[in-house]
Every structure is written in structure tokens, then in C-alpha cells.
Structure 1
């Protein structure tokens, strides 16, 4: 149970950091351009990742060379959707959707595509059969997103 709680807390922290990232990138895009904001975000992200890798390898013993499994070649392209996400989020954050609407509809897209990935085992994820309750989940998340975005007008 403790491991599962740590997973949930990590996911919540990632969601909060995603909101901070989108807000910062949206502000930078407002004062420059969405593509520049994406470039700046990924440049600083790469620098931060290098520092984390260097620190991690010093704290934990390095695995011997050749013992790590290599992923499929397409797995190294994960930064491409990340860059497009940053650009699109920077554009929509500065639109009438604002930050909360952008994040709400990004969540809808993530849930729907995540369920499809689980159902079909896309990109090597573990298969999870589609359940009838999944439709209710999508409907509730979508209706909550619509209420959040358009309910106060």
C-alpha cells in the first residue's frame, strides 16, 4: 500500500508541476512566441535532466556498462510530442481557455488516449481491457472540464 501511495503522490506532484510548467511557458510565449517558449522549456529541461542524471549517478552506484537494456528506437522520440504539447499549451493558455481550461482539456485528451493505449497495448504499455465504467469516467472528466471552462460565463 505504501508503494501505491507513493505512486499517487508522485502523479499528483507531476500534475502540479505540469500546471506550473504550462503557466510559465504560456507567459513566456505571450512575451515572445510559442515555438521559442517550447525551445526554452526544453533547453532548460535538458540542462535540469543532465544535472539530475549526474547527481543520481553519484548518489547511486552506476550500473556496469552493457547491463542496461536498450529501448526500441522509436522510444527516443518521446520529446517530439512533449515539444508539441508545450507549443499547443502555450497557445491555448493565452486564449480564452486560460490555464485551467487548457489543463482540463489536456486531461480529457490524456484520459481518452491513455485508455486507448491501455486497451490496445500501444507503445508497449501493459494491456488493460476496456470496461463500461471507462465511458462514465470520460463523460465525467469531459463534463467537469466543460463546466470548469464555460460554466462561469
Structure 2
């Protein structure tokens, strides 16, 4: 089976699931608090990941060739902070669309910095196409954020 055909539908499904997760988490945060909602979301996510891993892992596991670098274990900290801040932002006048726009803008800028300075990937010079794409994405994010001020 050609897995390239699944890339776009899986990306769209992941985006829809992210929006749904933020909505559910913000509803929970409105009734309990952002920290409690973040703990519950991460706890359920960890249990789900464990169940999926157990269900799909083979009995014969290959031996690990090397340990991951220590900084790789820090991935959960920004994730937990993102969930908590998303719960706070969604319950503000910014709402869900503005929260997702800020997340996209932050990921885009961080990705450009990583590519430019070779932080997490190979160092690469940015091109005019990168700048144009970034301006278009950031412009769309700005429209979403500032359109919140006036109801549609």
C-alpha cells in the first residue's frame, strides 16, 4: 500500500482531533481549572498511548542501538504547558480559532529558527519562498486573531 496517499487525510484528521481536544480540554478547564484539565488530558493520553503500544507491539522487540539524547525527554514539558495555556486562551475572548492561530504562528517561527541556526535539524539558509510562505501564514493567523474583536 502506498503510504503517501494517506499523508493528507491523516494530517487533516490530526488537525481536527487537535481542535476537538482543545475544545474538550477548555470545557473541562472552565469547570475545574487549567492545571487540573492539563493533568487529566495528559493522564488519559499516557494511558491511551500505553494501551496502543501494548496492542501493536510485537513480541520480538529489536534491541535498542543507542539511548536518545537527554534533551529528547523534555518534549513533554512544552506539551503540558501548551495544553494548560490553550485551556486558558480558549476560555478567553481569543477563543479556539485564535488559540490555534497562535500555536501555528509559534510553530512556524520556531521551525524557521531551527532551520536557520541548525538547532534540531540540518542548518539551512532561508529562501525568499520561506519568507513569503511565513508572511502568508502569519497574515492568516493575524486575521483570525484580530477578527475575534468583531463578531462575524
TM over 0.5: yes
Q: Distance in 1 between matches of 2:80 and 2:27?
A: 16
Q: In structure 2, the residue corresponding to 1:122 is in which secondary structure?
A: coil
**Where does the alignment leave 5 or more consecutive residues of structure 2 unmatched?**
none
Q: Distance in 1 between matches of 2:10 and 2:49?
A: 17
Q: CA separation of 1:61/1:120 partners in 2, compared to 1, >3 Å: closer, same or farther? A: farther
Query: Structure 1 residue 119: deviation in Å?
Result: 2.6
**Where does the alignment leave 5 or more consecutive residues of structure 1 unmatched?**
none
When normalised by structure 1's length, the TM-score is 0.86
Task: Give 2:100's aligned residue.
Answer: 103
RMSD of equivalent CA atoms: 1.8
Query: Structure 1 residue 61: deviation in Å?
Result: 4.7
When normalised by structure 2's length, the TM-score is 0.87
Could you give the per-residue CA deviations for residues 56-83 of structure 1, whole angstroms, max 9, x where no partner exists? 11xx45323x344321111012100000
Q: In structure 2, the residue corresponding to 1:62 is in which secondary structure?
A: coil
- Asked if structure 2 preserves the Cα contact closer than 8 Å seen for 1:34 and 1:91, the reply is yes
Query: How many residues are paired up?
Result: 148
Query: Structure 1 residue 150: deviation in Å?
Result: 2.4
- Asked if structure 2 preserves the Cα contact closer than 8 Å seen for 1:105 and 1:142, the reply is no
- Asked if structure 2 preserves the Cα contact closer than 8 Å seen for 1:111 and 1:138, the reply is yes
Q: CA separation of 1:62/1:114 partners in 2, compared to 1, >3 Å: closer, same or farther? A: farther
Q: Distance in 1 between matches of 2:116 and 2:9?
A: 25
Q: CA separation of 1:101/1:31 partners in 2, compared to 1, >3 Å: closer, same or farther? A: same
Structure 1 outlier segments of 4+, above 6 Å: none
